[in-house]
Amino acid sequence: MKVLVGLSGGVDSAVAAYLLKEQGYEVSCCYMRNWDSALNNDTLGNPTLLDPVCPQEKDFQDAQRTADQLGLPLYRVDYIREYWDDVFRNFVEEYQKGRTPNPDILCNKYIKFSAFLHYAEAHGFPMIATGHYLKREGDRFFKADDRNKDQSYFLAQVAAQGLKSCLFPLGTYEKPKVRKIAEELGLDIAEKKDSTGVCFIGERDFRKFLQNYIPMKPGKIVDINSGAVLGEHEGVYYYTLGQRKGFHVGGEDGPYYCVGKDVEKNILYLASYKDDTFLYSDSALISSLNWIRRPQEGELQVKFRYRQPDQQVTLQYLENGDVLLRYPQGCKAVTPGQQAVFYKDDELLGGGVIEHTYTKGIEQQQLLQEKASRHV
């Protein structure tokens, strides 16, 4: 069978391509260019990277060398417009609402398992493959054997048909074994570090990058409990729930963490590390659901963040198609705009966007506003 492998320029996709070739597939590779390196400039149009070569361009060069070393053809396709329209616009709009989006999940949904899949089908490839750590058993999908590298969380918004059209050769491999294979093959990228952070930013300061699209708007930093003004922030959009650094404030109750923000009033609310009650919720409303395998109402497991241990929850379907999750044990820093990813034991069931969180039936944002209003 012909298969088109998404070759990123990293170790994982390179070894995935090699393993499929060894298994007898007719393998070709494709590099996806999703970001225009000309956009890696500051507000004056000056390059912000010390190295004039964008990390994405370096990745393409690495992908080309890898394909040559493996004796495989490499295509290159641009999804700059699709990425801008379907991923980046959403990324900026969510930040402007005071929420915290995950562009990597949207990139998988709209680019790697949609636009790329359509490209493969149009060019005679019935299957695609990636270097994601996800285990496939028939038409069901499970956490990878290497739990430290498992990427099921980032694939929860991919349509079921997109996953069913993809091979995941690394699902049963541990990362050290993958690197060892690359070393034994003599691949130039065998020791290349894994990419981290948001793909289109590269090695740069996230807040400075965001300022190009959401201008700074300084405002007050307020202690939610005392009402004291602790300092000034650069813009409420740049902070996330539970964040513990980057405030540069004093106060006898410090250090502090972020408990919320009022976008309209441009106020950032902090609380002392001694009091984390504002970080806990016991239920959440989830929208924009994508089911890979739709579960019945009842108990299952959820991740509200990538590195978070599974949380036991009870799922209830609502008439409008959203779901309500209850977790009476309480969960910390469940953040609107991020993803809730559903599992039954180790099987990936799907995911959705966290819309609101509640404590004893009251929305947390309302609790925050009520607390803040006492100091006015």
CB atoms within 10 A of CB 253: 17
Amino acid at 38: A
* CB neighbour list of residue 230: distance below 8 Å, 6 or more residues apart: 221, 222, 223, 247, 249, 250, 251, 256, 270
Query: Is 331 one of the annotated active-site residues of the chain?
Result: no
Query: Is 29 one of the annotated active-site residues of the chain?
Result: no
- At residue 375, the 3 state secondary structure works out as coil
Please report the DSSP string for 319-332 in residue order. TTS-EEEEEEEEEE
Q: What is the rounded distance in angstroms from the CA atom of residue 272 to the CA atom of residue 255?
A: 6
Catalytically annotated residue among 29, 166, 199, 258: 199
CA 344 to chain centroid: 21
- At residue 261, the 3 state secondary structure works out as strand
Burial 193-203 (b: 16+ CB within 10 A, else e): eeeeebbbbbe
Q: Residue 363 half-sphere exposure, CB side, CA atoms within 13 Å?
A: 9
Check: CB of residue 298 under 8 Å from CB of residue 281: no
Catalytically annotated residue among 30, 107, 166, 258: 107
Catalytic residue positions, numbered: 107, 199
